[in-house]
Structure 1
């Protein structure tokens, strides 16, 4: 049964990491029009316990995208300089939507793995009861 527990734990860690990734993507989309906003990114890290690889993943530290902010011309904007420009955000909505879809599909794959493992363990218990 420990193999089933490990499989459930691994798929749960994947779902948790993808949910956190979706949270960052949604924050980026919500702040796409916020002046001075830098896009948040985070990479996945393998979880190591007691010096051993577990196979589980977690979302690593959040970093800000170092790309330059978009210069927006709007002389009437309160943040505009003497030339009429202000710093917008560096969020690319097409990239964010692609990241969201990838995270959603990865989450769904982990969920299917979780459900399949749960069904297999339930079937095994039914067989053992007979």
Structure 2
């Protein structure tokens, strides 16, 4: 039963990490037109116990993408310099949509693993009752 419980905890940590990743992707998409906005990237870290066994995954620190900010020509914008340019964001919507799909699919895979372990646990309890 302990293995099934650890499977539930492992898949739950994966769902939590992917939900956090999806939150940051959503922020990037929402701020894609915000001048000076830098894309947020997320790293994942393995959680290990004292014996070295993997017990889950968590989001690491959020980092800002250091890619060049897009130069936008708009002389009427109050942020524009003497040449009519201002710094836009470095968010690429195609990359963000791909990241969102990957996070969604990873979340769904963890959800299926969680559901499978829950069903196995339920079946085991049913067998033990007999």
TM-score range, shorter chain: over 0.9
Q: CA deviation at 1:48?
A: 2.4
When structure 1 is superposed on structure 2, of 49-58 and 96-105 the one drifting more is 49-58
Secondary structure (helix, strand or coil) at the match of 1:10 reads helix
Alpha-carbon distance in structure 1 between the residues aligned to 2:53 and 2:125: 29
Corresponding position of 1:48: 48
Secondary structure (helix, strand or coil) at the match of 1:57 reads strand
Secondary structure (helix, strand or coil) at the match of 1:58 reads strand
The CA RMSD over aligned residues, in Å, is 0.9
Q: CA deviation at 1:3?
A: 0.4
Corresponding position of 2:93: 93
Alpha-carbon distance in structure 1 between the residues aligned to 2:13 and 2:125: 24
5+ unaligned residues in a row in structure 1: which ranges?
none
Secondary structure (helix, strand or coil) at the match of 2:53 reads strand
Corresponding position of 2:16: 16
Q: Does structure 2 retain, via aligned residues, the 8 Å contact 1:46–1:53?
A: no
**Cα deviation code 1:33-84 (max 9, x no counterpart):** 0000000001111112336232411111000001000000000001000000
5+ unaligned residues in a row in structure 2: which ranges?
none
> Does 2:2 correspond to 1:33?
no
Alpha-carbon distance in structure 2 between the residues aligned to 1:75 and 1:51: 61
Alpha-carbon distance in structure 2 between the residues aligned to 1:43 and 1:51: 24
May I ask how many residue pairs the two structures share in their alignment? 130
**TM value normalised by structure 1:** 0.97
